[in-house]
A and B are shown apart, each in its own frame.
Chain A
Amino acid sequence: MLELTKNTFEEEVLKTQGLTLVDYWSDGCEPCKALMPSVEELAKKYEGKVKFCKLNTTKARRLAISQRVMGLPAIVLYKDGEKLDECTKDDANIKNIEAMIEKNI
């Protein structure tokens, strides 16, 4: 998974064609860390079809808020740089995330 920063986000997500998934997480978010390994597995499964990225919001708070992300975990799917779908909080489990990808692929 590609690790984003507030400086690379625009280029890698908003200016990228195709499907891009961003796993928003933070140092303090334990559910995010628990979820991450299964998202990594999905990244392998959908390699070449969906670009998987992660963003630590601790260092990119304003950027996250600009993307309407104010609660973690948040897994957001973008298409051609536009926000398409998301799984947030209780909905952010691996079953829902995979269903979201399948629906939009």
Chain B
Amino acid sequence: MSNIYDLVIIGAGPAGLSAGLYGARAKMDVLILEKEKKGGQIVTTSDVANYPGSIREATGPTLIGRMVEQCEEFGAKFAVGTVEKVDFSKDVKKLMLEDGKEILAKSVIIATGAYPRKLNVPGEKEFTGKGVSYCATCDADFFTDMEVYCVGGGDTAVEEAMYLTKFASKVTIIHRRDELRATKSIQEKAFKNEKIDFIWNSTIDEIKGDGIVEEMILKDTKTGEKTTIKAPEEFGTFGIFVFIGYVPNTDVFKGEIELNEKGYIETCQNLKTCKPGIFAAGDIREKSLRQVITAAADGAIAAIQAEKHIMSKEY
């Protein structure tokens, strides 16, 4: 019989790392599984300004680096692996990985987070990194003095549009409705910004080009009318930044864990899911505020609950 971990955490973002720390400090045998690189979405942030204590040199990666170090110091183990299938029906939970390995656990914390929603239009994938971007801090620089389009109408879209005005000559927000969904105070700043323009009631229908973005076709959401926007001759290209919300990473749990219509996990008290011994933490949960601090808090609560679950059972 292979080793049965006390606690396996899926995802090494702030929620998973916080769970790892609390789990390891509670003397549990903890494994943190991450499919690619540790840190989750926060690693694209160059300045974490709202996590208490993060005032000095806290970029996403440095903060995550310290969290990882802290987990390791207390004995949590890390492994790279993508979970392909899960079986949560028995007391001993089974995780099947893409490479054929199987991991057994007495308790599991799902902390797989969310990823930026895609437009799902022709040309989007082809031109990602060729003019289409989901990360302003990564790519804004390329568009210095160029024109940039920003898709979305929420807080993120408008805030990132304002950030992009530091680089681009002009930033046009494309929104499918005739008013923004962003917080009023953020909206006011955007309306005052001379570099920001708006195209209302429109969505992107197609992105075209030869190696880089050269044109896009917009569709009016009311009339269905299509218009083509071509790159100005000077640069031959423009930027398209997409900020239309997030999609939770819950596909693999479908059928095992109850998900709401948006795909998020609805937890009850103490972050329990509908299955005993399975907990959820961080952005993956249906919750009102998705921030590093709420993710970290979730992780701590879930780890302590996992410990309680193990104590209450005979393994």
Interface of A toward B, CB cutoff 8 Å:
26, 28-35, 57-58, 61, 64-65, 68-74, 88-90, 93
Contacts and interface: CB of A to CB of B under 8 A. Distances in A.
Contact of A88 (B45, B46, B129, B213): B129
A30 B142 contact: no
14 contacts: A28-B140, A29-B138, A29-B139, A30-B43, A30-B60, A30-B61, A57-B142, A71-B128, A71-B132, A71-B142, A72-B129, A73-B138, A88-B129, A89-B129
B152 to A, nearest CB: 18
Contact of B61 (A34, A65, A74, A93): A34
Given A28-B140, A32-B138, A70 B212 contact: yes
A30 B128 contact: no
Nearest to B64: A34
In order of increasing CB-CB distance, the 5 nearest A-B pairs are A71-B129, A88-B129, A68-B211, A89-B129, A29-B138
Interface string B204-222: 0000000111000000000
A25 B138 CA distance: 9
Interface in B43-83: 43-46, 59-61
Interface of B: 36-37, 39, 43-46, 59-61, 128-133, 135, 137-142, 144, 211-213, 235, 237, 239
A75 to B, nearest CB: 11
B59 A61 contact: no
Contacts of B212: 65, 68, 70
Considering residues A26, A34, A71, A73, which has the most beta carbons from chain B within 10 angstroms of its beta carbon? A71
B71 to A, nearest CB: 17
A69 B127 CA distance: 10
A70 B128 CA distance: 9
Nearest to B39: A34
Nearest to A73: B138
A1 B191 CA distance: 46
Contacts of B137: 28-30
Contacts of B59: 30
Contact of A64 (B43, B45, B61, B142): B142
Contact of B36 (A64, A74, A93): A93
